Every structure is written in C-alpha cells, then in structure tokens.
Amino acid sequence: MSIKENIRHYEEELSGTPCRLIAVSKTKPNELLQEAYDAGQRDFGENKVQELAAKAEVLPKDIKWHMVGHLQRNKVKYIAPFVHMIHSVDSLRLLLAIDKEARKNDRLVHVLLQIHIARESTKFGLNRDEAIELLASESFKQTTHVHIKGLMGMATNTPDQEIVASEFAGLHRLLRDLSAWNGPQVEMSELSMGMSSDYPIAVKNGATMIRIGTDIFGARQYPTGA
C-alpha cells in the first residue's frame, strides 16, 4: 500500500470519531512526509528536536508539528517558535522551560502531560499524584504562555489486549478526574494514545489523537548497533 492509501485508510477509519491522526514521521525522509502531505495529512509527529526543526524548515508551513518524544529543557528553544503541540511534558521544570521560551516568541504553546501507564518502567511520564502536584503548584499558576490541553500515554508493549485496554481506560478516567482543574490554563480535552499496534483499542477508549508511524510509513530502519 502507498502512503496515500494508508492516509485514506485512516481517514475512513476515524471518520465519525472525535479522533484525528498524527503521522509519526521520525527517521523518514522529507519526500515521504511530502507524500503524506499531498494526500491531505497536516499533523505530523517527531520525537527528536533536531530532526523536527530541520524538517519544519523545508516542508510546507501549514504543517502542524507535534513533539511526541522525550524533551530536554535546553532544547525547547529550537522548537518553541513554531511547534503546534508538545505531547511529552513529564515535569514541572520542563513545563516552566516551555513557558519561558514560548514567552520569548510571544506564543501560547499547547502541551499534554505525559502519564506513565505502562508496566515497563522504561517509559517516561508522571503518575497521578505527580500530575496533580504539577497542576496545583504555584509556579504553574504563574505561567502565562503554556496551555495544558490533556494527557498522553503509551501502553505496555504486549499482545494482551486486556492489559492495553485497561491502561487506556485508566488514562481516560484520569483525564476526567483532572478536568476538575480546568480553568484559564487547563482544558482537559485531548487524549493522545494509541500507536500502530494498539490504536483500535485506544480509539474505543476515547483517544482524540492517535500517533501512527510504522503503519503509514513502513518499518523504521535504524543504523545497526544503535
């Protein structure tokens, strides 16, 4: 199947749901992103700052760039001028760094709190109490240029669909619980969950954004030894 056909497939699959597709294009060359763009795709996700900034510089300006990977505070400045949404906010310090860089650029940056829902300890993210602590903190209340739009999570990498479903359902519950914090700086409405292997379960459990790489662009090739 071509990239164009893959994009069409997702458009059909998601029509009638509140969910939209983020095409995760990490490691893929610009020609393939352009192919997806020509098929109508406008939301793209990347997980490395340098790659994201380099692609944004040459690809069409109406692309909405989503940062979905772990983000270091000292690299926020490279994407703050243009990034559409940062899905991977996993600390107050990172959020404050984003606020500072967004202010320098006179922009409001939309972010999601990344929540740790998987059994693997290797995945990043806040737990429920840490998310609440962040939302309740004085320093968050003093931010002016970030807006928390919802939550992001990655489920356990397992063939057991019940485990995955319960993790996604738990994240949806947490989104509802945290909407108690809604106000000028917080609007708990977006739920970024589901990748190539588990997106149908995510959509069933209330995802508003699925992040799909392999299923659109094909398997990623990393240099051997990496």
Ligand X SMILES: *Cc1c(COP(=O)(O)O)cnc(C)c1O
- In the complex with ligand X, the residue whose CB is nearer, 137 or 197, is 197
Residue 46 C-beta: closest distance to ligand X, Å: 9
- In the complex with ligand X, the residue whose CB is nearer, 161 or 214, is 214
- In the complex with ligand X, the residue whose CB is nearer, 143 or 172, is 172
Cβ atoms of 43 and 21 within 8 Å: the answer is yes
- In the complex with ligand X, the residue whose CB is nearer, 109 or 143, is 109
Residue 144 C-beta: closest distance to ligand X, Å: 28
Cβ-based neighbours of 172, under 8 Å, separated by 6 or more: 191, 205, 206
Cβ atoms of 210 and 199 within 8 Å: the answer is yes
CA distance 112 to 89: 6
Residue 111 C-beta: closest distance to ligand X, Å: 14
Residue 45 C-beta: closest distance to ligand X, Å: 7
- In the complex with ligand X, the residue whose CB is nearer, 112 or 143, is 112
- In the complex with ligand X, the residue whose CB is nearer, 125 or 143, is 125
CA distance 190 to 174: 12
Phi, psi dihedrals of residue 67, rounded to the nearest 5°: -90, 115
Q: What is the dihedral of CA 226, 87, 135, 92, to 10 degrees?
A: 40
The candidate with the shortest Cα–Cα distance to 219, out of 5, 15, 26, 11, is 26
Residues lying near ligand X in the complex (CB under 6 A): 24, 26, 47, 68-69, 195-197, 211-215
Residue 195 C-beta: closest distance to ligand X, Å: 4
Residue 180 C-beta: closest distance to ligand X, Å: 27
The count of residues in the chain is 226
Cβ atoms of 110 and 85 within 8 Å: the answer is yes
